[in-house]
């Protein structure tokens, strides 16, 4: 068992819904304090900023940074420079340049930096990757739709530059696709629907291909009503595979192979502990690079104003 004394930076919805339960289930992981100017937890010391938290608790060995993306680079850089291990909520930064800088600082300091793509820890992902590794991919369909009012209530930052809009959930789909598909893939076309009063898209349609000619289509939409749709379907030369319910259900050739409850963040913290114990870093920027490509290469269409 490897013990971690942890500080949490940011105490928003994702922390309360996912991080806190996962930390409680991770053997040896002890939450010592939080840093957030607007929120706190009753059971642990709270500070307005991370520097104050680290000054007051030098025993903190690692921090999980769960703030909006435009704040993460400065916070992560400070933590790394103080010799702390860092877990970055997805996406790991507002820009690729920021993430590359953090990788360099982590290497210099000899500490762990973990870009935490939580959807990769869904129950069916590892088995899907293993099965697809020996198949030729012919076609991939990704459908990732949810109601922004349910999953991001009152989070105005998501519509501002760096907030990513529908790519905030869409990047989860891309993190799974880049994990399970055996070949890299590249953006060919993109259409981004941007509300007239927002800076980021509410919906997106993407077309990719891989070096062997497979076609990969993705449809992201924040306007879903009712239950979300988080599905990936893959046609191969040896049959089809479907990861649905965000990766909780895996079907191969029409037969259900795995269906389990979502426990992504438990797996995520177990991986963080493993990386710290072995002195390694894990920062895959492929999902973020695909989003950056879409913003750079995509056609922007103006849509109706969005009001929550």
- Summary mean pLDDT of the chain: 95
pLDDT of residue 3: 84
**Same domain (yes/no): 296, 149:** yes
**Same domain (yes/no): 193, 218:** yes
Mean of pLDDT values over 292-301? 96
**Same domain (yes/no): 219, 162:** yes
Give the other-Cβ count within 10 Å of 307's Cβ: 6
Q: Kind of pairing, strands 62-65 and 85-89? A: parallel
Question: For 149-184, how does the pLDDT look when each residue is reduced to its tens digit (9 = 90+)?
Answer: 999 888 898 999 988 999 999 999 999 999 999 999
- The SS3 assignment for 107 reads helix
- Rounded CA separation 258/292 (Å): 33
**Same domain (yes/no): 92, 219:** no
Question: For 193-251, how does the pLDDT look when each residue is reduced to its tens digit (9 = 90+)?
Answer: 999 999 999 999 999 999 999 999 999 999 999 999 999 999 999 999 999 999 999 99
Give the dihedral sign, CA 155/6/282/275: negative
Q: Which of 116, 137, 155 is the last residue of a domain?
A: 116
Which token pair is 153? 């209530």
Mean of pLDDT values over 23-27? 93
* Total number of domains constituting the chain: 2
**Same domain (yes/no): 23, 68:** yes
- Residue 99 located in a structural domain: yes
**Same domain (yes/no): 57, 158:** no
**Same domain (yes/no): 231, 184:** yes
- Residue 104 located in a structural domain: yes
pTM: 0.95
| pLDDT score of 23 more than 90 | yes
How would residue 306 be classed by pLDDT, with cut points 50, 70 and 90?
very high
pLDDT of residue 16: 94
- Residue 287 located in a structural domain: no
**Same domain (yes/no): 137, 15:** no
pLDDT of residue 162: 87
Q: Which residue has the tokens 């076309």?
A: 189
Which token pair is 262? 């979502």
Q: Which of 116, 131, 162 is the last residue of a domain?
A: 116
**Same domain (yes/no): 236, 219:** yes
| pLDDT score of 1 more than 70 | no
pLDDT of residue 2: 61
**CB contact at 8 A, 197 and 182:** no
Mean of pLDDT values over 17-38? 95
Which token pair is 160? 């501002």
CATH number for the domain spanning 18: value is 3.40.50.720
Q: By percentage, how much of the chain surpasses pLDDT 70?
A: 99
- Residue 277 located in a structural domain: no
Mean of pLDDT values over 56-63? 97
Catalytic residues: 90
- The SS3 assignment for 94 reads coil
Domain limits at 199? Answer: 120-260+292-303
- Residue 282 located in a structural domain: no
**Same domain (yes/no): 45, 89:** yes
Question: For 67-115, how does the pLDDT look when each residue is reduced to its tens digit (9 = 90+)?
Answer: 988 899 999 999 999 999 999 999 999 999 999 999 999 999 999 999 9
**Same domain (yes/no): 143, 102:** no
- Rounded CA separation 184/208 (Å): 10
**CB contact at 8 A, 115 and 282:** yes
- Rounded CA separation 142/206 (Å): 9
Among 1-10, 14-23, 248-257, the range scoring the smallest mean pLDDT is 1-10
**Same domain (yes/no): 132, 226:** yes
Q: Which of 55, 82, 116 is the last residue of a domain?
A: 116
């Amino acid at each position: 068992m490897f013990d971690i004394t942890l500080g949490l930076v940011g105490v928003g919805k994702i922390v309360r819904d996912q991080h806190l339960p996962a930390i409680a289930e991770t053997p040896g992981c002890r939450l010592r304090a939080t840093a957030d100017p607007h929120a706190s937890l009753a059971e642990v010391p709270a500070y307005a900023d991370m520097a104050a938290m680290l000054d007051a608790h030098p025993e903190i060995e690692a921090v999980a940074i769960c703030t909006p993306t435009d704040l993460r680079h400065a916070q992560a850089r400070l933590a790394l420079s103080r010799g702390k291990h860092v877990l970055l909520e997805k996406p790991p930064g507002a820009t690729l340049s920021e993430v590359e800088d953090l990788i360099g600082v982590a290497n210099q300091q000899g500490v762990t930096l973990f870009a935490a793509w939580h959807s990769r820890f869904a129950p069916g992902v590892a088995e899907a990757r293993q099965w697809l590794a020996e198949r030729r991919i012919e076609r991939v369909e990704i459908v990732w739709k949810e109601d922004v009012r349910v999953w991001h209530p009152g989070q105005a930052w998501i519509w501002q530059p760096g907030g990513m809009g529908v790519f905030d959930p869409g990047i989860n789909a891309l993190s799974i696709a880049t994990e399970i598909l055996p070949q890299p893939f590249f953006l060919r076309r993109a259409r981004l629907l941007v509300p007239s009063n927002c800076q980021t898209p509410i919906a997106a349609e993407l077309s990719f291909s891989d070096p062997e000619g497979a076609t990969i289509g993705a449809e992201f939409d924040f306007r879903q009503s009712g239950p979300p749709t988080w599905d990936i379907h893959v046609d191969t030369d040896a049959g089809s595979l479907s990861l649905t319910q965000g990766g909780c259900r895996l079907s191969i050739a029409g037969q259900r192979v795995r269906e389990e409850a979502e426990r992504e963040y438990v797996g995520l913290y177990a991986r963080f502990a493993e990386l710290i114990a072995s002195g390694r870093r894990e920062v895959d920027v492929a999902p973020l690079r695909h989003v950056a490509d879409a913003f750079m290469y995509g056609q922007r269409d103006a849509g109706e104003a969005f009001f929550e």
